[in-house]
Amino acid sequence: MNINHIVQNLFQENLFSNKALELRDGQLVYGKLTKLFPQQMAEVQIGSQKMFANLTIPLMVDQSYWFQVSVTDDKPVLKVLTQVQEVSAEKGNIKGLLQQLQLPDVKENRLLMSYLLSNNLPITKESIMSIMEWLPSSLGKQELSIIGLMLERELPLTKEVFNSLSSLQTGKGFSALIEELKQQLSAHEIKEPNLNNLLSSLREGGNIGEENNVDILKAIFQKIGYSFEAGLLKRAPMGEEQASNQEMLKPILLELMGKDVPVAVKETAGQLIDKVTGYQLMSQQTGPIMQVIAEIPLRFFNQQVDVTVQYNGRKTTDGKVDSSYCRILFYLELAHLKDTVIDITIQNRIMNMSILNDRASEIMPMIKQADEPLKDKLRELEYQLMSVHARPLTKEDKPLWSSQQPIQVKAYKGVDIKI
């Protein structure tokens, strides 16, 4: 269960989640007219869901049609696509759909359209054309799942976003990249004091188990630059902003990319930038609900490890993180215990903790020994620890990252759609 495996699970879970149908402006949908009613009313089935529609043109029962969605006054209106006489409009006929959209009938386009259709992902002519500008020639399952996630989360359909998300499924972890860049700077005698100091600080990390674990995590998040763009929005005074940027890895690396340094150095720096950006894109906030996903280098019992942290919770009315209700998961690959997940659930400051590891039976006696000291320590922080359990990892123990829900059209009464 390394980081690549975790993120691959995330991408697949997003695409195969069973969600209610949400119609977006410009989206193409394939629906079947199932019933006709008086006053030009009809029942249309789109996927597994049925909607009422007001017919403005004659359609035949038990026939399927391609429709394009137009959202007017928060109500989705479906327009039947003009059919090309010699091409069937069947959902499985990718060639026919490409022809109707006036898009090239090439292998990559057929693979992309087939994948999006089979996973019920939103399709618009504009989004497909944007993707085609940078669509990889070697289009496999991994590339398609990333594109699907970009559409699902309504991320910008650019090559830069694609590369950042790709970096989470492939490549090296933070610790390896930090060490590699530090060695390259030394080998090429590149004088970057701020960067060297920051890389050394991150490589040393913090030793989890010390008294100031929370401060350690906060400091590492800050040093990596996960909040870099958010900090820019605060419009700090120029001098303070520049000083702060020199303490963050991401802005320093962005500055390095504009300098005359060897290609190998830029490649490693670029991989680190992509990794930070990828996790920023995976984190999200919808109203008061927030989700943070990040990878950070830490030290556990003098062993350097890359830890993936997932925080699910909400913000209070004053904009602060609500520490009374949340869920935090740590995904680790330890030297001796190997794959380990620490799952912490907090409800009204009452905490339950699960440790998932294939050596759960060996770990449980050690947990019992540390149970009372842990309860005492948490009590000082005004938390009550109810239970700590250990159990083996299973295939079902996948990350709980969920896709960002697309903006829904507002609820209304009466006709669902107008055709």
Q: Is the pLDDT of residue 252 over 90?
A: yes
Confidence of residue 24 (pLDDT cuts 50, 70, 90): confident
> Residue 396: what pLDDT?
58
pLDDT-derived band at 289 (thresholds 50, 70, 90) equals confident
Say whether pLDDT at 250 is over 90.
yes
- H helices present in 153-191, as ranges: 159-166, 174-187
Superfamily of domain 21-153: Nucleic acid-binding proteins (2.40.50.140)
Which of 355, 352, 357 shows the shortest CA–CA distance to 375?
352
Higher pLDDT, 265 or 48: 265
Which neighbouring-strand residues pair with 291? 284, 312
Greater model confidence, 405 or 24 = 24
Sequence ranges of the domains in the chain: 21-153, 169-275, 283-402
pLDDT above 90 for 350: yes
pLDDT confidence of residue 199: 92
> What are the φ/ψ torsions at residue 130 (nearest 5 degrees)?
-65, -45
Residue 15 in tokens: 């695409």
Average pLDDT for residues 51-56, to the nearest whole number?
72
pLDDT(13) > 60:
no
Among 232-241, 373-382, 386-395, top mean pLDDT goes to: 373-382
Cα 122 to Cα 149: distance, rounded to the nearest angstrom: 11
| pLDDT: which is higher, 265 or 113 | 265
Query: Taking 90 as the threshold, does the pLDDT of residue 20 lie above it?
Result: no
State yes or no: pLDDT of 100 exceeds 80: no
Average pLDDT over residues 384-412: 58
Which stretch, 70-74, 103-107, 277-281, 302-306, has highest mean pLDDT? 277-281
* Better pLDDT: 209 or 188: 188
Ranges 2-6, 27-31, 194-198, 213-217: which has the least confidence = 2-6
| Highest mean pLDDT out of 21-35, 227-241, 255-269, 325-339 | 255-269
Whole-angstrom Cα distance, residue 358 to residue 292? 27
Mean pLDDT value across residues 273-279: 93
Residue 345 is predicted with a pLDDT of: 94
Give the 3-state secondary structure of residue 71: strand
DSSP one-letter code for 80: E
Helix 159-166 and helix 263-282: axis angle, to 10°? Answer: 90
125-134 pLDDT tens trace: 888 889 989 9
Residue 291: HSE in the Cβ half-sphere, 13 Å Cα cutoff: 13
| Contact residues for 195 (Cβ-Cβ < 8 A; gap 6+) | 185, 249, 252, 253, 256
Higher pLDDT, 130 or 403: 130
C-alpha 40: how far from chain center: 43
Contact predicate 154/254, CB 8 Å: no
335 confidence band (pLDDT: 50, 70, 90): confident
Mean predicted confidence (pLDDT) in 30-34? 84
**Beta-bridge partners for 303:** 300
CB-based contact 336:324 (threshold 8 Å): no
Q: Which helix (H) or strand (E) holds 75?
A: strand 75-80
Predicted TM-score (pTM) of the model is 0.76
- Tally Cβ neighbours within 10 Å of residue 92: 12
Check residue 231 and give its pLDDT.
Answer: 45
Q: Mean per-residue pLDDT for 109-118?
A: 86
Q: 315 pLDDT band (50/70/90 cuts)?
A: confident
By the 10 Å C-beta count (0-12 exposed, 13-18 middle, 19+ buried), 373 is classed as exposed
CATH architecture classification, 283-402? 2-Layer Sandwich (3.30)
Query: What value does the mean pLDDT of the chain take?
Result: 79
